[in-house]
Amino acid sequence: MKILRPMTILMSCLVLTANAAAQISLTPPGVDTPPAAEKTAAKPKAKPPAKKPATPAATENPPTSPQRPAATPAGPAATVKPAPAPDDPNVDLVYGAYQRGQYKTAFDLATKRATEAGDPKAMTMLGELYANAMGIKRDYVKAADWYKRAADGGDREAMFALAMLRLSGRGGAVNREEAVKWLASSAKLGNPKAAYNLALLYLDGQSLPQDVNRAAELLRIAADAGNPEAQYALATFYKEGTGVAKDTDKAVRLLQAAALADNVDAEVEYAIALYNGTGTPKNEAAAVALLRKAAKQNSPIAQNRLARVLVSGQGAPMDKVEGLKWHIVAKTAGKGDPFLDEALASLSPADRTKAQEAARVWIGKK
């Protein structure tokens, strides 16, 4: 069951993603230096606080490939996991039906609990069902109403979900002031998702005064609670010295933790650190394995770095056809590479056709 599917916040300030941050060279010995990682308008390199702090983006199904829409709150409503009260068998019935996908039953049971017992967990459940069209027609206004009742009753998940609705303008007008209030309340009750998203608002400098030190504190709270997006963002803070003292070792440890939690951007950066032995013992085999994993999750940076490794045979057995397949895939996604273009042109016609066909098949699967 998904705990979080918050909206994507893309601020006009800087964004920390693998596309921008993965500038560490993963160049095998004897291979030309790759071109710098492309930077879209939304992803320049992080700057010190005095200029403009870096802003990681709020995750969309938590954050994976670097896709960032317009600089306004967007995406589906936050999906929360309405936790049952362990000492209340009636609420357990509601949650059990929800877990089994019996949403209409969960709706009926939650309605009874919410209206008759005034139970905040049941109210949060109703907000979840209305927001995500589970067993009932989607209705953001009703979702916001139930989340508000549950938030007033002290439920931290409802506070978070209501904040995300207010930021995205679903169920009512955009209300950043109210969103900040509910995020702060939810974070105070220990919700790592709320702490992470509140950190973004401190970096944004629109809803709250810009404060990278406070953002770093909130990211640390969320990272310590195991939030992979916060771990990745805080790792970049440590790498750049933004809001914290620069510390490569801490950055790499956080990247490792986020990578183990399947954060694709962290997988790419941790792979690069492993390959180069930066802040961690050098381990090319582990690096290549991570690059393969991230490449298969459609990270253009990972696809490009994997292509270079396979074409050069440094860190993995040489396989030019496979490597140039990944180059073609990455280039289709906007990650070009003149060195690999030359390698593709030098292939025999038969091998070039194999690489192109393999890339076409992969792209067709996406």
Write down the pLDDT at residue 299.
97
Q: Show the tokens assigned to 81.
A: 């996991």
Write down the pLDDT at residue 70.
27
pLDDT over 70 for what percent of the chain? Answer: 75
CB of 146 within 8 A of CB of 159? no
The whole-angstrom separation of Cα 107 and Cα 127 is 10
Phi, psi angle pair for 198, to nearest 5°: -65, -35
Write down the pLDDT at residue 366.
64
23 CB-contact burial (10 Å; exposed 0-12 / middle 13-18 / buried 19+): middle
| Torsion sign (Cα): 141, 143, 145, 147 | negative
pLDDT over 90 for what percent of the chain? Answer: 73
- Please state, in angstroms and as integers, the Cα–Cα distance from residue 134 to each residue in 31, 35, 82, following that order: 53, 47, 14
Domain ranges of the chain: 297-366
Write down the pLDDT at residue 90.
56
One pLDDT digit (tens) per residue for the chain, 366 residues: 233 333 333 333 333 333 333 333 454 433 333 333 333 233 333 333 333 444 454 533 322 233 322 222 333 344 555 555 445 555 579 999 999 999 999 999 999 999 999 999 999 999 999 999 999 999 999 999 999 999 999 999 999 999 999 999 999 999 999 999 999 999 999 999 999 999 999 999 988 999 999 999 999 999 999 999 999 999 999 999 999 999 999 999 999 999 999 999 999 999 999 999 999 999 999 999 999 999 999 999 999 999 999 999 999 999 999 999 999 999 999 999 999 999 999 999 999 999 999 999 999 986
pLDDT in tens, 190-208: 999 999 999 999 999 988 9
pTM comes to 0.76
161 CB-contact burial (10 Å; exposed 0-12 / middle 13-18 / buried 19+): buried
Q: Which amino acid is at 147?
A: Y
| SS3 assignment, position 8 | strand
Write down the pLDDT at residue 149.
98
